[in-house]
Amino acid sequence: MAQRGHEGYIMVRFIADVNSIAKAAADGLPFCGTSEREEKTGAFFHLLSAATAKYSADELYLFYSAEDGLVNSIAEECAKKGLCLIETDDIYHGVGALLSSKSSGNVLLTVRSDLLVYASSDTTVLLIEFDENGSHLSEVNEAVGADQLALECALGAATAQSVCEQYGPLEKILKDPLSVDFFGAGKVIEQKTSEIKARYDFLKEASALDFKIPNEADAGLEGKDLSCDAASAELSSVDTSGVAFFDKKDEKVLSEFLSEAKQRIKDGKTIIFYDLKDLLHSLGKACGFPFEIRKNGTHEEESGQLSFTQTIPEENSAAKALYDFIIATEQKAWDESVESDISYGKALHRYFDDVKIEGYIADPLNETVCKNAAEVAASHERLSKELKESGTEKLYEELELPLIFVLYDMEKTGIYMEADRLQEYGSMLEVQIRSLESKIYEEAGEEFNINSPKQLGEILFGKLGLPKGKKTKTGYSTSQKVLDELAEDYPIVADVLSYRKYAKLKSTYADGLFNCVSEDGRVHTTYQQTVTATGRLSSTDPNLQNIPIRLELGKQIRKVFLPNPDSLFIDADYSQIELRVLAHMSGDENLIKAYRADKDIHTATAALVFHVPADQVTPLQRRSAKAVNFGIVYGISSFGLGQNLSISRKQAQQYINDYFKAYPGLHSFLDGLVASAKANGFAETMYGRRRPVPELNDSQYMRRQFGERVAMNAPIQGSAADIIKIAMLHVFERLRREGMKSKLLLQVHDELLIEAPKSEEAEAKKILKEEMENASALKVPLEVDLEEGNDWYSAH
pLDDT tens sequence across 676-702: 999 999 999 999 999 999 888 877 777
Q: Give residue 552's pLDDT band: very low, low, confident or very high (50, 70, 90).
A: confident
Q: Are residues 400 and 427 in the same domain?
A: no
Instruction: Say how far apart CA 653 and CA 460 lie, in whole Å.
Output: 35
How large is the average pLDDT for residues 627-655? 80
Distance, CA of 291 to CA of 278 (rounded, Å):
14
Q: Are residues 426 and 296 in the same domain?
A: no
Rounded mean pLDDT, 204-209: 42
One domain, residues 427 and 469:
yes
pLDDT grade, residue 728 (50/70/90)?
very high
CATH, residue 640: 1.10.150.20
The backbone region for 547, taken as left when phi is positive above 0, alpha when psi lies in -120 to 50, beta otherwise, is beta
pLDDT digits (tens, 9 = 90+) for 583-632: 999 999 999 999 998 888 999 989 888 888 989 999 888 988 888 888 88
H or E stretch including 109? Answer: strand 107-110
Whether 430 maps to a domain, the answer reads yes
CA distances from 303 to 300, 307, 420, 796 (A): 6, 11, 12, 32
Question: What is the average per-residue pLDDT within 515-523?
Answer: 88
Same domain, 249 and 383: yes
121 and 164 in a single domain? The answer is no
More confident residue, 34 or 107: 107
Is 42 in the same domain as 168?
no
pLDDT one-digit tens code per residue, 444-500: 999 998 988 888 989 999 899 898 777 665 678 887 778 888 888 899 999 999 998
Q: What does the alpha-carbon distance between residue 528 and residue 757 come to, in Å, rounded to a whole number? A: 28
Cα separation of 325 and 476, whole Å?
61
**Residue ranges making up the domain that contains 13:** 9-139
Say which CATH number the domain at 435 has: 1.20.1060.10
Judge contact between 185 and 140, C-beta under 8 A: no
Q: Are residues 312 and 387 in the same domain?
A: yes
Same domain for 403 and 492, yes or no, is: no
Question: Which residue, of 688, 715, 742, is where some domain finishes?
Answer: 715
What does the alpha-carbon distance between residue 97 and residue 107 come to, in Å, rounded to a whole number? 11
Residue-level pLDDT at 234 = 45
Q: Residue 94: inside a domain, yes or no?
A: yes
The whole-angstrom separation of Cα 600 and Cα 590 is: 13
- Residue closest to 444 by CA, chosen among 465, 427, 423: 465
- Specify whether 131 is located in the same domain as 98: yes
Q: Provide the percentage of residues in the chain whose pLDDT is more than 70.
A: 72
* Residue 95 predicted with pLDDT over 60: no
Predicted confidence band of residue 47 (pLDDT cuts 50, 70, 90): low
Say what the pLDDT of residue 22 is.
Answer: 45
CA distance 552 to 462: 34
Instruction: Please compute the mean of the pLDDT values over residues 713-729 and round it to a whole number.
Output: 95
Is 228 among the domain residues? no
Rama region for 535: left / alpha / beta (φ>0; ψ in -120 to 50; rest): left
The confidence score (pLDDT) of residue 226 equals 29
**How far is CA 94 from its chain centroid?**
21
pLDDT at 438: 95
- Terminal-to-terminal C-alpha distance of the chain: 45
pLDDT score for 147: 76
Q: How sure is the predictor about 722, in pLDDT bands with cuts at 50, 70 and 90?
A: very high
Q: Which residues contact residue 455 at a Cβ distance below 8 angstroms, ignoring those fewer than 6 apart?
A: 448, 449
**Residue 692 located in a structural domain:** yes
How large is the greatest C-alpha to C-alpha distance in the chain, in angstroms? 81
Residue 471 backbone dihedrals phi, psi, to 5 degrees = -90, 135
If one counts every other C-beta atom within 10 angstroms of the C-beta of residue 600, the result is 15
- Check pLDDT > 70 for residue 183: no
Whether residue 37 has pLDDT greater than 70:
no
Euclidean distance between CA atoms 786 and 796, whole angstroms = 8
Based on the fold, state whether residues 690 and 646 are members of the same structural domain.
Answer: yes
Please report whether residue 533 resides in a domain.
Answer: no
Q: What is the pLDDT of residues 346-378, one digit of tens each?
A: 999 999 999 999 999 999 988 888 888 999 999
Among 64-68, 300-304, 399-403, the range scoring the smallest mean pLDDT is 300-304
Q: What is the mean pLDDT of residues 538-561?
A: 86
More confident residue, 791 or 192: 791
pLDDT at 733 over 90: yes
Does residue 551 sit within a domain? Answer: no
Last residue of a domain, one of 459, 474, 504: 504
Cα 140 to chain centroid distance, Å, stands at 26
pLDDT of residue 45: 62
Q: Domain for residue 769, yes or no?
A: no
Residue-wise pLDDT for 267-296, tens only, equals 999 999 999 999 999 999 888 899 988 765
Tell me: pLDDT of 307 over 50: no
In one-letter notation, the amino acid at residue 789 is G
Give yes or no: residues 355 and 393 share one domain: yes
In a domain, 127, yes or no: yes
Q: Is the pLDDT at 341 greater than 50, yes or no? A: yes
Same domain, 644 and 685: yes
Element (H, E) at 59: strand 59-65
Please report which confidence band the pLDDT of residue 315 belongs to, taking 50, 70 and 90 as the band edges.
low
Per-residue pLDDT of 105-156, as tens digits, reads: 455 555 544 444 445 445 555 666 655 555 556 655 444 566 777 787 677 6
Between 98 and 199, residue with greater pLDDT: 199
DSSP 8-state secondary structure symbol assigned to residue 179:
G
- Look at residue 44 and tell me whether its pLDDT is greater than 90: no
pLDDT at 274: 95
Band of residue 104 on the pLDDT scale cut at 50, 70, 90: very low
Overall number of domains in the chain: 5
CA angle 438, 443, 448 (to 5 degrees): 60
Q: How many CA atoms lie within 13 A of 757 on its CB side?
A: 7
Contact 625, 609 (CB under 8 A): yes
pLDDT of residue 528 exceeding 70, the answer is yes
Q: What pLDDT does 69 receive?
A: 52
Q: Which of 75-79, 546-550, 758-762 shows the lowest mean pLDDT across its residues?
A: 75-79
- Highest mean pLDDT range out of 84-98, 230-244, 346-360, 461-475? 346-360
pLDDT of residue 197: 79
Task: State the chain's mean pLDDT as an integer.
Answer: 78
Pair 18, 56: CB distance under 8 Å: yes
CB 472 within 8 A of CB 453: no
Domain end position, chosen among 504, 539, 558: 504
Q: Is 331 exposed, middle or buried (0-12, 13-18, 19+ CB in 10 A)?
A: exposed
For the cut 90, the answer to whether the pLDDT of residue 774 exceeds it is: yes
| Mean pLDDT comparison of 153-157, 295-299, 509-513, highest-scoring range | 509-513
